[in-house]
């Protein structure tokens, strides 16, 4: 982990991956103090965060790794407009 010059933000390594089985995008920070969490496209889920889900899906798609399908609006299927 690295504290940035502005002294308010940090930069750290994290991994993300998509599970087609659950439709969740997983976020993990390795090592001591690490964590694993998920973001869901299901708006009824406590783990739902549509904006973050779309951003992470775009990162996965641009890397050419498994990623959720999105419709032309960039929203997960079944997602109503913000």
27-56 confidence digits (pLDDT tens): 999 888 889 999 998 999 999 999 999 999
Domain count, the chain: 1
Residue numbers of the domain that contains 15 = 2-63
> What is the dihedral angle through the alpha carbons of 17, 21, 24, 30, rounded to the nearest 10 degrees?
-40
Residue 70 domain flag: no
Return the pLDDT at 81: 54
Residue 79 domain flag: no
Kindly state the average pLDDT of the residues 55-77.
Answer: 81
pLDDT of residue 73 exceeding 80, the answer is no
Average pLDDT value for the chain: 86
Q: What is the model's pTM?
A: 0.78
Return the pLDDT at 33: 81
Residue 74 domain flag: no
């Amino acid at each position: 982990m690295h504290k940035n010059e502005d002294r308010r933000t940090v930069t750290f390594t994290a991994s993300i991956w998509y599970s087609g089985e659950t439709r969740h995008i997983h976020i993990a920070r390795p090592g001591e103090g690490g964590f694993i969490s998920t973001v869901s496209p299901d708006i009824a889920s406590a783990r739902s965060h549509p904006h973050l889900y779309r951003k992470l899906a775009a990162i996965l798609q641009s890397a050419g790794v498994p990623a959720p399908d999105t419709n032309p609006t960039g929203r997960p299927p079944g997602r109503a407009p913000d």
